[in-house]
Structure 1
Amino acid sequence: MVFKKSLKLNTKDNDNEKSNNIVKNDSKPDGGWGWIVTCAMCLCLCLSTALRSSIGILYTYMIDEFGFDLTVLSLIGSINGAVSYTGAFFTVSLIERFGVRRVLCVGGLIQFTGCLMSAFASSFVLLLISLSIITGLGNALTYVTGVVAIDAYFDKKKSIAVSLATTGISLSRIIFPSTVEFLLSKYGFSDAMMIFSAILLNLVVCGAVVFPQRLVSQEVVTSKAEKLEKDMAFCKNTGFILYVLASFLFCLGVLLPVGFIPETASARGVSVASVSLTFVGSGIMDILGRISFGIISHRYSFYVCKIWSACLAGFGLSMLIVPFSNQLYQFLLFNLLNGLLNGGVNLGYALAIKNITEPKYYGRGISMSLVMQGLGLLAGNPLAAYLQEVTGNENVPYYFGTIIFIMTALVLLPFSGSRQHEVSTIEIKVSEHHLGENDSKH
């Protein structure tokens, strides 16, 4: 059964336009089973980012087991991130057609398959296909869908629910680096990846929890809104162009710590097991950073871009700690500071766009940002590894990261004073498709 309702935002349409829309009130529960779904989506995002959070630990064991060069191995994490982010651009269409539950379950099965295949890989090409492409495609389905699922259950409390769910990304940094290191040291690469794939299979359970609540999808129905779908004039806005450029630039360096710190620490006499524990502190500080950024940006909404810019600059400067680090406590200090700033950096891009473009363009704006972030992730770590190999200086990736983040902060300066746009006129038809067999009929 399909329900249709009109959601009106600061409407200025005339009575004739109003009469063309079917109106039906069917409020979301704003709680109840929604909190169970929120917990499930927190776990979903935690599992979805597990490979990315522990990729540096995997690199160190792949070097020993397969004899691959770090420059070559860095392509695995970079391509995985690129496929995950650019693939997310198409995930919304799949959600609208098949529903959150199916997309999440299929995404979980794909990630499980990719990790399981890597356990039997004996060449770099097979590792690239399994861990980068197949697992990346599965991640593209689960990462975005995990956030979208919450929309069907919350209205007024949506911001709280989304914030709680996205802490799963931070929890991933707390749990998986040390977990993966333990599995690798205890069972070896092949057996460890089998166990890791079984852990990722829990994504299917997370998807099954999205039941029996209705899934909400939105499409534009008025002639004015239909025209907006084809209107890409916002892409010519200078502020938006700089925003997209900033999205690309910061992703060139955002994975440098997780990709290079384990190998750097190991080369300086700090065990991989010990340095993996410092990422636990990084994950805890990441949660604190996200919460702090959210509170501050809510209180000072006009200065979101400035706050984001400050976090980016701080993230870059924090990398200068690593070249002078030789002891475990120094790497711990770096990861604590970097984790705090990382929370703000990764939340900032999603909030900053509200100060740059109009609400009617948010969806397309974020989608374009994700594509550019995917390209940044694709190029970042391999480029840093190449520069490290060419120069013969193990500190080059961190100098590279500092330069990149300072550049990103400078790119944001021209529109750092932009204020949040007012909500504009738009009519939306909401189609609510039942996902469960026992939903009540209206």
Structure 2
Amino acid sequence: MGGVALDVGGPAVKAPDGGWGWAVLLGCFVITGFSYAFPKAVSVFFKELIREFGVGYSDTAWISSILLAMLYGTGPVCSVLVNRFGCRPVMMVGGVLASLGMILASFATSIIHIYLCTGVLTGLGLALNFQPSLIMLNRYFSEKRPLANGLSAAGSPVALCCLSPLGQVLQYQYGWRGGFLILGGLLLNCCVCAAVMRPLLPPRSSQKDQEAAAKEEDAVKKPKAKLLDFSVFKDRGFVIYTVAASVMVLGLFVPPVFVVSYAKELGYEDTKSALLLTILGFVDMFARPTCGVIAGLKWVRPRCVYLFSFAMLFNGVTDLVGSQASDYPTLVVFCIFFGVSYGMVGALQFEVLMTIVGTEKFSSAIGLVLLMEAFAVLIGPPGAGRLLDYTKKYMFVFLLAGCEVCVSAIVLFTCNLLFIRTKASAAQEQEEVQEEAQRSPETMAMTADYQQGDALELEKLRPDSTTVDSQEVERFLKEPESKGALSPSPETCL
């Protein structure tokens, strides 16, 4: 089973870019939807939990925060488990944990119980599904990977549009306990998605080829037996990406959290204010696969990191402009543009990471990146909330979020332009020098033959001896004078 997820050892298996990969894509679509939408869908039950346990809104908000913290913060743990046991077993266990957490939370007698069950258990289960699903998607798609990433990322807005109304219906019909129990059963579909993640094995070959591959595998496995590969930090592009992504996450999730409250502050009713999130999610739903198609174009794909920088800058500028909104139509326009930019960022963030580190190190890289982003996720929305409490104006919250995302875009663009491009040019020049120095023996032999032939031709044209007798020269110069002819001189010679 450990061979399911590992790319170490043995001959490289070419990504099929289709076939069973479409089933893997569907599973990744569902897992992504659960992972990103579930923390927001649980917030539907907060009013009932406040009434049940006599706590405040800030206490119930910790449920979603712990869920997101487990989703991001357990990245290295997921990487170690995937590199040790493989993607499919880890996802099976994750699906069981996610479901078990919600089922146990339905019998909760205190808010702490819900923290441990829904926050820790369900959050860990979703994390054990989310990261391996992206790893498997990276293995099944290569040429069509940008499109696959865009389609799988679309699972987030689709699930959000479905789970939030479903949660409201379940709360109305069965209460929060019955809703938690049914949602726990729904999360068992993660195990179905895990079963879809079939190992990507090399095609059948002759017995001799298999024996040779096994010997190669034994020889290569020993030096590459790393459960968490920290060598990715030696890659300059990975470090730049990690820093930029961590700064981006500080402000990326702030506007969707506060836009509904912003509309209520302007005096609009709850239903009309909540419609803003629906508009944002609907636009986001189509923006992600569209951006995946664009990122897969031949001219765009080598410059995908710059497209990601543009998406981040677009998102940040949208926040800055949206901070000046003063009526509902302006907020609608803001949600449309934010949905487009937010979808572009969601479709490109893991595609760019896959391009930077490659398939072999992606399982370790994504775990380390998610760990770094976990701190930003915990700091971002609460920090914006404190700013709101201090200023009492939503304008400053959106301005702060926009500045953070714009700074991350500038860091990613300038650092890649100054360092990564220079590094690539130097490497290309070095390759050209090596190719010139390591020419084929046939070319060297042909060059030597041509040089030898030219030398022979010159030898034929040269006199046999280069020594000159001075007496013969004097006799030659005096012969014309004896015959009455003019002797050659500088004045008479042309």
The TM tier, using the shorter chain, reads 0.7 to 0.9
Amino acid at match of 1:102: P
- Conserved? CA contact 1:91–1:141, under 8 Å: yes
Deviation digits for residues 211-255 of structure 1 (CA, Å, limit 9, x no counterpart): 5x5579xx9954997499998566366654443221211112222
Equivalence for 1:177 = 164
Aligned to 2:104: 117
**Which residue of 1 is the match for residue 177 of structure 2?**
190
Shift of 1:360: 6.6
1-side partners of 2:221 and 2:334: how far apart? Answer: 53
**Could you tell me how far apart the structure 1 residues matched to 2:241 and 2:182 are?**
40
Superposition deviation, residue 372 in structure 1: 0.9
Instruction: Tell me by how many angstroms 1:138 deviates.
Output: 0.6
Give the alignment of 1:289-300 within 5 angstroms. 289-298=287-296, 299-300=299-300
State the identity %: 24
Cα shift readout 1:152-200 (whole Å, capped 9, x = no counterpart): 6556555544443332223223322333344345554333323322322
Q: Which of the numbers 61, 73, 80 marks the counterpart of 1:86?
A: 73
2:124 counterpart of 1:126: no
Q: Who is 2:366 aligned against? A: 366
Letter in 1 for 2:243: L
C-alpha spacing 1:198/1:342, structure 2 compared with 1 (3 Å): same
Q: Structure 1 pair 406/69, CA: closer, same or farther in 2 (3 Å)?
A: farther
Aligned to 2:431: none
Which deviates more, 102-111 or 91-100? 91-100
Q: CA deviation at 1:270?
A: 4.3
* Other structure's SS at 1:324 match: coil
User: 1:172 corresponds to which letter in structure 2?
Assistant: A
**C-alpha separation in 2, matches of 1:59 and 1:263:** 16
Verify the 8 A CA contact 2:151 2:288 in the aligned structure 1: no
**1:315 aligns to 2:315 (yes or no):** yes
SS of the residue 1:54 aligns to: helix
Cα distance in 2, alignment partners of residues 159 and 405 from structure 1 = 22
Residue 140 of structure 1: CA displacement? Answer: 0.8
Distance 1:302 1:32 in 2: 25
User: Which has the larger share of helix?
Assistant: 2
Letter aligned with residue 335 of structure 2: N
Contact kept in structure 2, 1:101 and 1:208, CA below 8 Å: yes
Who is 2:338 aligned against? 338
For residue 325 of structure 2, what is the aligned residue in structure 1?
Answer: 324
Report the Cα offset of residue 283 of structure 1. Answer: 2.7
**1:204 CA drift (Å):** 2.3
Asked if 1:286 is matched to 2:273, the reply is no
Q: Is the 8 A contact 1:72 1:382 kept in 2?
A: no
The counterpart of 2:245, out of the listed 236, 240, 247, is 247
- The one-letter code sitting in structure 1 at the alignment partner of 2:385 is A
Asked if the contact 1:181–1:276 (Cα under 8 Å) also holds between the matched residues in 2, the reply is no
Pick closer, same or farther for the CA change 1:401–1:231 going to 2, 3 Å: closer
In the alignment, is the contact (CA less than 8 A) between 2:80 and 2:228 conserved in 1? no
Q: Judging changes above 3 Å, is the alpha-carbon distance between structure 1 residues 308 and 38 closer, same or farther for their aligned structure 2 residues?
A: closer
Q: Which residue of 2 aligns with 1:386?
A: 386
1:103 aligns with 2:103: no
* Distance in 1 between residues matched to 2:40 and 2:62, nearest whole Å: 15
* Paired letter, 1:279: L
Q: Deviations over 1:37-60 (max 9, x none)?
A: 432332232223231343554556
Relative contact order (C-alpha < 8 Å, sep 6+): which is higher? 1
Q: Which residue of 1 aligns with 2:405?
A: 405
Give, as a single letter, the amino acid of the residue that structure 1 aligns with 2:151: L
* Residue number among 41, 44, 50 corresponding to 2:37 in the alignment: 50
**Residues 34 and 126 in structure 2, CA contact (< 8 A), matched pair in contact too:** no
Native 8 Å contact 1:181 1:272 kept in 2: no
Offset at 1:369? 1.7
1:88 corresponds to which letter in structure 2? G
The separation in 2 between residues aligned to 1:270 and 1:203, in whole angstroms, is 39
Matches within 5 A, 1:295-306: 295-298=293-296, 299-306=299-306
Q: Distance in 2 between matches of 1:267 and 1:187?
A: 32
- Tell me if 1:350 matches 2:337: no
Contact 1:220 1:226 in 2 (8 A): no
Query: Distance between the aligned counterparts of 1:331 and 1:220, measured in 2?
Result: 60
Please report how far the alpha carbon of residue 366 of structure 1 lies from its aligned counterpart in structure 2 after TM superposition.
3.4
Greater mean alpha carbon deviation, residues 231-240 or residues 221-230: 221-230
Q: Is the 8 A contact 1:78 1:381 kept in 2?
A: no
Please say if residues 99 and 185 of structure 2, whose CA atoms lie closer than 8 Å, have aligned partners that are also in contact: yes
Find the residue that maps to 2:30 and give its secondary structure. Answer: helix
* CA gap 1:188/1:332 in 2 versus in 1, 3 angstroms: farther
Match of 1:406, as an amino acid?
Answer: C
Indicate how the Cα distance of structure 1 residues 112 and 103 shifts in structure 2: closer, same or farther if over 3 A, else same. Answer: same
Contact 2:2–2:86, Cα closer than 8 Å, also in 1 = no
Q: Could you report, residue by residue, the CA deviation over 1:13-60 in whole angstroms, capped at 9, with x for unpaired residues?
A: xxxxxxxx865x977765444433432332232223231343554556
Q: 1-side partners of 2:49 and 2:319: how far apart?
A: 25
Aligned length: 406
* Aligned position for 1:75: 62
Q: Structure 1: how far apart are the matches of 2:15 and 2:359?
A: 22
> Scaled by the length of structure 1, what TM-score is found?
0.74
Structure 1 residues 137 and 360, CA gap change in structure 2 (3 angstroms):
closer
Counterpart AA for 2:28: M
Structure 2 distance, partners of 1:185, 1:237, is: 52
Q: Does the 8 A contact of 1:56 with 1:258 survive in 2?
A: no
Judged with a 3 Å threshold, the aligned counterparts in structure 2 of structure 1 residues 276 and 221 are, in CA distance, closer, same or farther, namely farther
Query: Which amino acid in 2 is paired with 1:259?
Result: V
Q: CA shift at 1:340, angstroms? A: 1.2
1:129: Cα distance to partner?
Answer: 1.9
Q: Distance in 2 between matches of 1:55 and 1:75?
A: 11
Hey, what's the Cα distance between the residues in 1 that align with 2:291 and 2:362?
A: 20
The farther-off stretch of 231-240 and 253-262 is 231-240
Q: Does the CA contact (< 8 Å) of 2:323 and 2:394 recur in 1?
A: no
Q: CA 1:311 to 1:32, structure 2 compared with 1: closer, same or farther past 3 Å?
A: closer
Q: How far 1:273 sits from its partner (Å)?
A: 4.7
